[in-house]
Amino acid sequence: MARPAAAAGIVRRRSGAWRRLLRGLYARPSSALGATLAAAFLLLALLGPWVTPYGPLDQDFAARSQPPSPAHPFGTDHLGRDVLSRVVAGDRDIFLLAGSGTLVAVLVGTLVGLAASYRGGWVEEVTYRVFDSLLAIPALLLALLLLGSLGPSRVSVLAVIAVAYTPIVARVVRSVVLDTKTKEYVLAARMQGESTAFVLGREVLPSVLPALAVESALRFSYAIFLVASLGFLGVGVQPPNPDWGLMVSEARDYVYLTPWTLTFPALAISLLVIAVNLLADGLKRVLQVGDTP
Amino acid sequence: MARFLLRRAGFLLLTLVFTSLLIFLITQALPGDVARILLGREASAQALAQLRAQLGLDRPLPIQYLTWLGDFVRGDWGTSFSTGQPVRELVLSRLGNSLQLAGLTLLIAVPTAVGLGVLAALYEESWIDTVISLASLSVVGLPEFITGLVLIQVFSFRLGWLPANSSIAPGTGLVAALPYLVLPALTATLVLLAYVARLTRASVLVELGRPYVRTAVLKGVPWRRVVIAHVLRNALLPTITVIAISFGWLISGLIVVENVFNYPGLGRLLTFAIARRDIPLLQAVALVAVLGFALANLVADILYAVFNPRITLR
């Protein structure tokens, strides 16, 4: 559960809290590794096009299926595309898709969760009934159903992440709000006649933040997982886009000929997922958020 | 007990009504004209209208939904657009295969995960805990298609012990199918393992901190007995719920695993149905999967109540 004291610290003394958060993360090798790796992937995603030697779709027919070499550090695929450039472009892609999908889910989930569980009554009942029935459909199944009718595109993938993860975020928010809304400081604010928006934003939200931060990191790691899986299944991002899952699935046909086209994107997914998982675990420890099933 | 069961079954029914409505809305009400898909681009307006009337697509959505659900409950699941076969036979035969795979996965995953979780909790903060936590956070949290491909690389290509392709023929017996099941089951296991082990660890740690443990230790009960007779009895109870929740993961995981290994289960059928825009098939597979998930939760609820002496079944 959230510790209101720690949460209040985050809001009141922002810079100090950030420094403490970072120090906490770097106090252990595992979360330090996670944070560093995740930051490196993010940096690479931001710098993407300026650091890669070739474009992700550029084909060089003279250099097809080349093993790793100084000119192509990760080799080239059967169409003569530079694997390193594609992996970096895929990094940018996955941060864009998984990141913005998670962001939408966290924003909507927080707003709806705060409002519905603070207000209570039938609004809460109906909201969480709908969310529960969404959660009764396993995430990947829901994703496939939505993609089946929306058709595969990047926008649908983004929408799928948002729809699949909003209820989960809302549920986490609710578990904290139900505990917080009966606290004296919240009641005091209400007694003073503060508006609901003020009470929610200034008094309730801070206590939700630690759990929300951990959940966001976790959701982001699952979103990466989901985007890659959908790409692999051929229903997510479509060729010739440099999606990591898609690259792995395409490379399967050439695994004997050009194993490096499979290894590097697979390695990239693995490292990023591990990094974000370690980061989420570190956040959980530093912010003292408990395990919830 | 009877009232408890009835209440739970009522909840289950309610959830299923909601989710079936969601599935229906997602698959039916969103863009894409079914008649156009079936008859192709060149079909005449008359033929399209006729087919729509025949399929009942010209009727209001609520009626369509009720007819669809009613037919489904009565066992008429429609005909597959792409294969022309009755959907029910197709789905049920694949369901058997998926259940086989899921069963073997749980058989491997649950004891291993619970064992590791308990071990990590008993040796909290020691190197055993660190290794288990790190392993479950890293290797085990990877997408199934990657762990699956690694397992294929090692056990099929390098060692040659197990087949890389699990496309077994229909009607293959369990014993004959077993070698084809091992790698997919192991792959699906890895994802469950992390999750169940983590939460088992957490719940054992909670119990270890309770006063009754200190009391038992102080009055001289051997540690081994404290753990087995007191701590585990209480700590493993929430694990039942965790396993039921992880069923959702298992279903998601199996969809990917079946596609990696070409295993003829519901997951393969699902991606097939999506690729062909085969709506009746898609709806049936989704409903069956959701029903399975809901039933697993119901069973877990009942088991939890049965094993928990503090809950009286009302």
CA dihedral over A221, A223, A228, A233, signed as positive or negative: positive
- Token duo for residue B114: 């619970």
Nearest-CA neighbor of B280 among B32, B119, B79, B2? Answer: B79
Can you tell me whether residue B312 is helix, strand or coil? coil
Cα–Cα distance measured from residue B247 to residue B234, given in angstroms and rounded to the nearest whole number? 22
Q: Are B235 and B206 in contact (CB under 8 A)?
A: yes
Q: Taking CB atoms and an 8 Å cutoff, what residues of chain B touch A244?
A: none
Instruction: Look over chain B and give the mean of its residue pLDDT values, rounded to a whole number.
Output: 82
* Of A279-293, B110-124, B217-231, B287-301, the least confident: A279-293
Residue in B143, B249, B271 nearest the CB of A269:
B143
What does the pLDDT read at residue A14? 57
Its pTM stands at 0.84
Tell me which of 3.40.50.2300, 1.10.3720.10, 1.10.10.2160, 3.20.20.10 is the CATH number of domain A2-286. Answer: 1.10.3720.10
* Of A153-157, A171-175, B36-40, B161-165, the least confident: B36-40
If you average pLDDT over each of B97-106, B145-154, B230-239, which comes out highest? Answer: B97-106
- Token duo for residue B135: 């392993």
Q: Are B133 and B139 in contact (CB under 8 A)?
A: no
Half-sphere exposure of B164 (CA within 13 A, CB side): 15
How distant is the Cα of B220 from the closest Cα of chain A, in angstroms? 32
Residue in B30, B149, B256 nearest the CB of A229:
B256
Q: Taking CB atoms and an 8 Å cutoff, what residues of chain A touch B23?
A: 137, 145
Question: At A288, phi and psi to the nearest 5?
Answer: 55, 55
High-pLDDT (> 70) share of chain B, %: 93
Cβ neighbours around B307 below 10 Å, total: 12
Please report how the helices B174-208 and B127-137 are oriented relative to each other, as an axis angle in degrees rounded to 10.
130
Cα–Cα distance measured from residue B314 to residue B7, given in angstroms and rounded to the nearest whole number? 9
What does the pLDDT read at residue A293? 40
Domain ranges of chain A: 2-286
Domains and CATH numbers, chain B: 2-73 (no CATH), 87-307 (1.10.3720.10)
**Quick check: A30 contacting B, CB < 8 Å?**
yes
Q: Above 60 in pLDDT, residue B313?
A: no
What does the pLDDT read at residue A287? 85
Beta-carbon separation of B22 and A221 below 8 A: no
Question: pLDDT under 50 in chain A at which residues?
Answer: 1-3, 5, 8-10, 293
How distant is the Cα of B161 from the closest Cα of chain A, in angstroms? 19
How distant is the Cα of B137 from the closest Cα of chain A, in angstroms? 6
What does the pLDDT read at residue A219? 92
Helices of type H across chain B: 2-24, 34-39, 45-55, 61-73, 87-122, 127-137, 144-151, 174-208, 211-218, 223-225, 232-261, 266-275, 279-307
Cα–Cα distance measured from residue A268 to residue A244, given in angstroms and rounded to the nearest whole number? 8
Q: Above 70 in pLDDT, residue B32?
A: no
Over range B72-96, report the average pLDDT.
85
CA dihedral over A163, A169, A173, A176, signed as positive or negative: positive
How distant is the Cα of A234 from the closest Cα of chain B, in angstroms? 9
Report which of residues B54 and A128 the model is more confident about: A128
**Nearest residue in chain B measured CA to CA from A226:** B143
**Quick check: A150 contacting B, CB < 8 Å?**
yes
Residue in A140, A266, A290 nearest the CB of B252:
A140
Q: Taking CB atoms and an 8 Å cutoff, what residues of chain A touch B237?
A: none
Can you tell me whether residue A54 is helix, strand or coil? coil
What does the pLDDT read at residue A104? 96
The one-letter code for the residue type at A240 is: P
The one-letter code for the residue type at A15 is: S
Residues B188-215: pLDDT tens digits?
888 888 888 888 888 888 888 888 888 8
- Token duo for residue A236: 């997510």
Question: At A88, phi and psi to the nearest 5?
Answer: -65, -40
Q: Above 70 in pLDDT, residue B88?
A: yes
Question: At B159, phi and psi to the nearest 5?
Answer: -90, -25
Cβ neighbours around A23 below 10 Å, total: 10
Residue in A141, A225, A249 nearest the CB of B255:
A141
What does the pLDDT read at residue B140? 67
Q: For tokens 């472009």, what's the residue?
A: A89
Beta-carbon separation of A30 and B134 below 8 A: yes
Q: Are B117 and B199 in contact (CB under 8 A)?
A: yes
In total, the C-beta contacts within 8 angstroms joining chain A to chain B are: 131
Q: Are B113 and B192 in contact (CB under 8 A)?
A: yes
ipTM score over 0.85, yes or no:
no
A82 DSSP β-pair partners: A76
Q: Taking CB atoms and an 8 Å cutoff, what residues of chain B touch A235?
A: 271, 274-275
